């Protein structure tokens, strides 16, 4: 992929290769080294025609990628770093004392410093500290890279969610998953390239968190339902055969193309045409993808599907694995209950950890045993962290100044730490990492240069990382 391509020959202003507009030979000529070519050749061999690819065709990466897909375990609400993976002895030492500097809490009143209610132990060869409420993830620490110095720009859930997902605290910008779908296309013509497994209570900020912003609408996420069946209407009406439905779709596609021709530049109309083809193929493939019946009991137990408390997130983690296994590029799995512990942090965080610890660890184990961890970037984190001082006696307020995100899998060096927050865990202190830096790193692992993945909109070449962002090299394998 090249930003130097002549935009006039492409549908995409960044110069992204538009496979639909090119013949197969031209396209193959562009295919060079890297996984993209392998995946692409496989796809071409298997499917023949490129033009029908739903969600865009795969294109060349800027450099050799280290991951094919992303699973983002989104801990919505803001998990506390000092109560999970980043213990702060100074907090324990000064528990109950007023902080030296006034702490800018968001809600309620700033209380005194509050030590973690949890015990920590070192684990693995890396000797990484983990809270004793996460015994399962603790066994994987040598695969994790902890980024302990993250910071964001908003102390408010909505804007912070937007920033973590799109880079900016305002709405209207494409999400990471949309940028990746736009840049790399889908690896599977029969499933959406970008899937969101939703928070059953609804995420703060809603669909804007996984929208395509000004990118063509085909790149937005397909949200799966969080209650009941993940996708409805996968079965054809009983009276319609496959043959009949295919004929209906062909007629509709033909008529729709005629209609769209009258409105050049309306990408939504084109996106909807694509969505029918994808929907048609999803009837078979998505039905199979969301069906757990072929999973062994052992696997189901591994993810905790046999226990009330772990089942909801366990199902999402298992579904995430099944989706990336089938070529879905980007899966976000939002936890059902938020980490937003303004009071009773001990109880609330304990519960969140009990709900997610085993499923998350199971995902890492499972990906590894299937050889998928090397090509899947796993991200764990929320939209911000929590304050070192107490709120309402036993809770913690939002803290965008210093929080923790970990990554694992494709291209990530395990057992390392990057950056530090200050001694009480308030602000990022050593090697601060912005949200743009996180995004740059994600794109890098997928073989994309965040400075070169651009889209011309309103006369400006926009990118996911705005005008900032540096890849966190120290955590790369």
Partner 1 sequence: MRRLLQACFAAVALLWVTHAESVGVAPVSGKPAAGAHKPEMTVTEADRSRWAFRPLAEVSVPDSGNPIDALLLEKGTPAPREASRRTQIRRLHLDLLGLPPTPEEVEAFERDTAPDAYERLVDRLLASRHYGERWARHWLDVARYADSDGYEGDRDRNEAWPYRDWVIRALNDDLPFNIFVQWQIAGDEIVPGNPDAVMATGFLAAGPSQETTPADTEENKLKIRYDELDDMVSTTASAFLGLTLGCARCHDHKFDPLPTRDYYRMAAVFSTSERRVASLSKPRRELDLWKEQQRAAHRESRMTELNLTEDQKFWLRQPEHFFVPIQLKLYKEFGERLKVDDAGLRAWLPESQLQVWDSLERAASKPAMASGLTGKSLIVMDHQAAPEPQYLLARGGVLNRKEPVSAGFIQVASRGKAPEAYRDEVALHDPLTSPQLAAVDDGGFTRPPTTYQRKALAAWLTDVDHGAGPLVARVIVNRVWQHHFGEGLVRTSNDFGSQGEAPTQPRLLEWLAGELVRGGWKLKPLHRQIVLSASYRAAATPSANSVRHPFRLESDALRDSMLAVSGQLNRKMFGPPFRPIIPKEAMATRSKDEYPANLQDGPELWRRSVYAFSKRSVPNPLLEVFDSPDSSSSCGRRNVTTVPTQALTLLNNEQVRKSAVQFAQRVITDAGLNPEAQIERAYRLALARTPTADERVRALQFLAAASDSRGDALPVEGLTDLCHVLFTLNEFIYVD
Closest C-alpha among 74, 73, 69 to residue 160: 74
Asked if residue 430 binds partner 1 (CB under 8 A), the reply is: no
Q: Which stretch binds partner 1 (CB under 8 A): 59-67, 177-185, 269-277, 443-451?
A: 269-277
Please identify which residue in 26, 95, 266, 347 interacts with partner 1, judged by CB under 8 A. Answer: 266
From residue 168, alpha-carbon distances to 69, 97, 164, 174 in Å are: 23, 36, 8, 10
Sign of CA dihedral 308, 121, 386, 94: positive
Asked if residue 381 lies in contact with residue 108, where contact means CB atoms within 8 angstroms, the answer is: no
- Return the residue of 3, 156, 299, 431 that touches partner 1, per CB under 8 A: 156
- The Cβ of residue 51 has, within 10 Å, a number of other Cβ atoms equal to 14
> Which one of residues 31, 52, 260, 290 is an interface residue with partner 1 (CB under 8 A)?
260
276 binds partner 1 (CB under 8 A): yes
**Nearest Cα to Cα of residue 183 among 460, 451, 426:** 451
Tell me which residue has tokens 């911000």: 384
Q: Applying CB under 8 A, does 306 fall inside the site for partner 1?
A: no
* Contacts of 255 by beta carbon, 8 Å cutoff, 6+ apart: none
The residue range among 116-124, 132-140, 224-232, 288-296 that interacts with partner 1, by the rule CB under 8 A, is 224-232
Instruction: Find the shortest distance in angstroms from Cβ 133 to partner 1.
Output: 25
Q: How far is the CB of 248 from partner 1 (least distance, A)?
A: 5
**Cβ–Cβ < 8 Å for 456, 13:** yes
Does residue 278 interact with partner 1 by CB under 8 A? yes
Residue with Cβ nearer partner 1 (84 or 190): 190
State how beta strands 222-224 and 376-381 pair. unpaired
**Cβ neighbours for 15, distance < 8 A, ≥ 6 positions apart:** 1, 2, 3, 4, 5, 6, 7
Binding mask 201-220 for partner 1 (x = CB under 8 A): -x---xxx--x-----xx-x
Rounded Cα gap, residues 119 and 125, in angstroms: 19
Mark residues 28-67: x for contact with partner 1 by CB under 8 A, - for none.
--------------------------x-------------
CB of 277: closest distance to partner 1 in angstroms?
8
Main-chain phi, psi angles of 418, to 5 degrees: -130, 130
Name the residue nearer to partner 1 (CB basis): 216 or 469: 216
Q: Residue 190 has which token pair?
A: 């029969």
Is residue 235 involved in binding partner 1 (CB under 8 A)?
A: yes
For residue 282, state whether it binds partner 1 (rule: CB under 8 A): yes
Q: At what angle do helices 267-289 and 311-325 cross, to 10 degrees?
A: 110
76-105: contacts with partner 1 (CB under 8 A): 102, 105
Does 252 engage in binding with partner 1 (CB under 8 A)? yes
Binding of partner 1 by 256 (CB under 8 A): yes
Q: Does 292 bind partner 1 (CB under 8 A)?
A: no
Distance CA 412, CA 425 (A): 24
**Residue 27 structure tokens:** 């396209």
Q: Which 350-409 residues touch partner 1, going by CB under 8 A?
A: 392
d(C-alpha 72, C-alpha 385), whole Å: 17
- How many residues belong to the site for partner 1 (CB under 8 A)? 65
The site for partner 1 (CB under 8 A) is made up of 54, 102, 105-109, 156, 170, 192, 202, 206-208, 211, 217-218, 220-223, 225, 227-229, 231-237, 239-240, 243-245, 247-249, 251-252, 254-256, 258-260, 263-266, 268-269, 271-273, 275-276, 278-280, 282-283, 392
């Amino acid at each position: 992929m090249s930003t130097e391509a002549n935009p006039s020959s492409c549908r995409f202003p960044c110069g992204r290769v538009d496979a639909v507009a090119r013949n197969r030979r031209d396209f193959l000529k562009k295919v060079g080294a890297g996984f993209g070519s392998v995946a692409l050749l496989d796809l071409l061999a298997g499917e023949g025609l490129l033009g029908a690819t739903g969600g865009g065709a795969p294109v060349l990466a800027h450099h050799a990628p280290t991951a094919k897909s992303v699973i983002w375990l989104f801990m919505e609400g803001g998990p506390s770093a000092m109560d999970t993976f980043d213990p702060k002895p100074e907090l324990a030492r000064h528990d109950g004392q007023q902080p030296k500097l006034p702490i800018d809490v968001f809600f309620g009143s700033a209380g005194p410093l509050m030590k973690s209610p949890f015990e920590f132990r070192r684990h693995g060869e890396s000797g990484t500290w983990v809270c004793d409420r996460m015994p399962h993830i603790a066994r994987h620490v040598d695969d994790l890279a902890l980024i302990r110095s993250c910071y964001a720009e908003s102390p408010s859930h909505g804007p912070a969610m937007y920033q973590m997902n799109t880079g900016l605290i305002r709405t209207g910008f494409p999400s990471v998953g949309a940028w990746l779908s736009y840049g790399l296309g889908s690896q599977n013509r029969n499933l959406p390239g970008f899937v969101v497994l939703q928070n059953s209570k609804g995420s703060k900020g809603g669909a804007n968190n996984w929208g395509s912003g000004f990118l063509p609408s085909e790149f937005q996420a397909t949200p799966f339902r969080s209650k009941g069946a993940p996708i409805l209407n996968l079965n054809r009406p009983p009276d319609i055969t496959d043959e009949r439905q295919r004929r209906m779709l062909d007629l509709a596609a033909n008529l729709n193309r005629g209609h769209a021709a009258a409105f050049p530049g309306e990408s939504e109309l084109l996106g909807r045409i694509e969505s029918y083809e994808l929907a048609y193929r999803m009837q078979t493939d998505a039905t199979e993808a969301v069906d757990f019946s072929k999973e062994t009991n052992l696997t189901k137990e591994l993810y905790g599907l046999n226990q009330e408390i772990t089942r909801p997130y366990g199902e999402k983690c298992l579904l995430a694995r099944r989706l990336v296994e089938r070529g879905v590029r980007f899966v976000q799995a939002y936890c059902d209950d938020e980490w937003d512990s303004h009071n009773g942090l001990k109880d609330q965080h304990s519960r969140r950890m009990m709900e997610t610890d085993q499923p998350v660890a199971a995902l890492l184990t499972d990906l590894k045993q299937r050889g998928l961890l090397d090509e899947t970037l796993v991200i764990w984190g929320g939209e911000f962290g929590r304050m070192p001082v107490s709120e309402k006696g036993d809770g913690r307020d939002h803290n965008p100044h210093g929080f923790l995100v970990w990554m694992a899998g494709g291209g990530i060096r395990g057992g390392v730490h990057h950056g530090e927050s200050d001694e009480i865990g308030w602000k990022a202190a050593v090697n601060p990492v912005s949200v743009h830096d996180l995004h740059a790193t994600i794109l890098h692992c997928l073989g994309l240069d965040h400075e070169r993945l651009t889209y011309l909109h309103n006369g400006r070449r926009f990118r996911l990382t705005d005008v900032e962002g540096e890849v966190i090299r120290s955590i790369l394998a």
